[in-house]
Amino acid sequence: MANALLIACVVSVLLHAVGGATVRRFKWEVGYIYASPDCEEKLVMAINGQFPGPTIRAKAGDTIHLQLKNTLHTEGVVIHWHGIRQHGTPWADGTASISQCAINPEESFLYRFKVDKAGTYFYHGHYGMQRAAGLYGSLIVDVSDGEEEPFQYDGEFNLLLSDWYHTSIYDQMVGLSSRPMKWIGEPQSLLINGRGQTNCSLAASLVPGSSACELTSKDCEPVVLKVLPNKTYRLRIASATSLASLNLAIGNHSMTVVEADGNYVEPFTVDDMDIYSGESYSVLVTTNQKTSSNYWISVGVRGRKPNTQSALAIINYPPNAPSKLPESSPPATPLWNDYARSKSFTYRILARQGAPKPPPNADKRIALLNTQNKMDGYTKWAINNVSLALPATPYLGSMRYHLKNAFDTKIPPESFPSDYDVMRPAKNQNTTQSTNAYVFQFNSTIDVILQNANAIAENVSEIHPWHLHGHDFWVLGYGDGRFQEKDVSTFNLKNPPLRNTVVIFPYGWTALRFIADNPGVWAFHCHIEPHLHMGMGVVFAEGVENVRNVPTEAITCGMTGKMLINNHLP
């Protein structure tokens, strides 16, 4: 949305090769700008005046050096590099109060990390609800020199999907933290690469009952993908939504899914696809339709009763003008609560032949019950009846240097009562709050059972996409109802997909397995912004004693952080 020439002048990217790989250097400033993502002017959180933020492009094995300056006037900031595992650099994960201190206004922090695996990733704010304010952008990692993808294509496009609220994140956070809670409602628009329209449709002439859009700003003009006929294009798709689960379809074109969360999958072809917050995919699309028309890309809401207009973009075939609207109506989004259709897509995602297989057995299993609860009249989300609170000093520093009283050292519950009925509201809906963390033996294999349940209201169970920092995990299986021991026999150990984000469906369970082999402290949480804000997450730690070279500024905040300084932090 900002002038590309201005961005080229402001962003400093310096490259030099080290041992065959490249160090890519960036200088960014985070601040607010006025923009009109859906044709209504609002404050937007931007990087170097650009929304969405600049796309980072690197090759597997490259190192990123990114100097981030906070030019926000009254709030801290961090950036999480979603899907980058941060081997050896857990302090660069960008999670406030977990891996680092928030960067204060007018201060800077140097993120240094290696992008070790090719794939489609993105980055976003991880402090408060800054992702919902627009702090996000794409991070694309190509294969290293001399390597090839296991599929071929003629060109590629990047689609970063998001939702957009007209109320500020401060209004949203205060409402969620009020007694009683004031729910934020559904987003006013869906955005494709930061562009959308509100309360209108670009296809109004083709969709009865919809209003035509008046495009009052270039900020909200539709995204146009210019293609050539009879070519195969890779679409890299990622979802940075705050709330919405999405479905994407392309008029008259099928899509072949080839990558999920930076991991190759066994190719399969679909007419539409669901994508949950935190997920990323690559699909191959062949431009084999008649060239006398352009075609719609349609993105609509799934998993919630949709009160938000679908977002539209255009596939532009020559010789048509990019402004020429497609002749047919946009693809219809499947019914919002057709979960059988959603499961059908998700269950088809399997690892490509030759992908790493999981260990045959786990050393430890924990079961995490997702519930909505009350605490002193406030509405919370909780895991095993514990709602996550975050400490003033990041866990990484307090654990690495054995600080006392920095967080709750009580072992968090690793299961939930055997008589808990996940199909009904809890008999006792009260919860507690804690800063405790799960500490795993280094290099052990961990199974996690994510168990969904009824919320506070009768007959309500929501979709929750869970994201694990610092790791990929194998998705061993899904099921309906409460997980039982006999379900272990159904685990897929042959070709389970590797992911970093996974969905649990309403009233269902999802099983995953990972190896605790990355020294650090890592967030594991629902990727829906208001849910995390209300406590829906846990903290995993492993091998923290092996962490080296932690920058002082990453961990010396809060009273216990100041103790590190006073005790001559090495």
Q: Are residues 280 and 385 in the same domain?
A: no
**Same domain, yes or no: 372 and 474:** yes
- Specify which residues 439 forms β-bridges with: 541
Same domain, 242 and 387: no
Q: Does residue 288 share a domain with residue 437? A: no
pLDDT along the chain (570 residues), means of 10: 41 51 95 97 98 98 98 97 98 98 97 97 98 98 96 98 97 97 96 95 81 89 97 98 98 98 98 98 98 97 92 97 93 96 98 97 98 97 98 96 94 96 94 97 98 96 98 98 97 98 98 98 98 98 96 85 59
Residues 274, 299 contacting (CB under 8 angstroms): no
The domain total for the chain is 3
Residue 150, in any domain of the structure: no
Q: Which amino acid is at 395?
A: Y
- Whole-model pTM: value is 0.95
pLDDT of residue 564: 62
Among 116, 142, 168, where does a domain finish? 142
d(CA 218, CA 534): 36
Do 488 and 387 share a structural domain? yes
The answer to the question of residue 147 being in a domain is no
Asked whether residue 55 is domain-assigned, the answer is yes
Q: Are 162 and 266 in a shared domain?
A: yes
Of the residues 142, 170, 192, which one is the last residue of a structural domain? 142
CA atoms of 451 and 509, how far apart (whole Å) = 4
In a domain, 512, yes or no: yes
Q: What pLDDT sits at residue 7?
A: 40
Of 80, 113, 142, the one marking the end of a domain is 142
Identify whether residues 377 and 507 lie together within a single domain: yes
Cβ-contact 248, 301 below 8 angstroms: no
Determine, yes or no, domain membership for 219: yes
Give domain status of residue 567, yes or no. Answer: no
pLDDT for 280 equals 98
117 and 196 share one domain: no
Q: Let me know whether 314 and 377 are in one domain.
A: no
**Cβ(255)–Cβ(270) below 8 Å:** yes
pLDDT at 6: 40
Please report the pLDDT score of residue 8 as a whole number. Answer: 39
The answer to whether position 274 is within a domain reads yes
Q: Which domain holds residue 233?
A: 155-347
- The pLDDT score that the predictor gives to residue 145 is 93
> Could you tell me if residue 552 is inside a domain?
yes
Residues in the chain: 570
* CATH number (domain holding residue 426): 2.60.40.420
Burial per residue of 286-297, b for 16 or more beta-carbon CB atoms within 10 angstroms, e otherwise: bbebeeebbbbb
Based on the domain organization, do 191 and 319 belong to the same domain?
yes
- Residue 207: predicted pLDDT: 75
| Half-sphere exposure (Cβ direction) of 180: Cα atoms closer than 13 Å | 1
What DSSP state is assigned to residue 147?
Answer: -
Same domain, 458 and 391: yes
Burial class (CB in 10 A: 0-12, 13-18, 19+), 362: buried
- Nearest Cα residue to 304 out of 259, 337, 270, 262: 337
| One domain, residues 54 and 181 | no
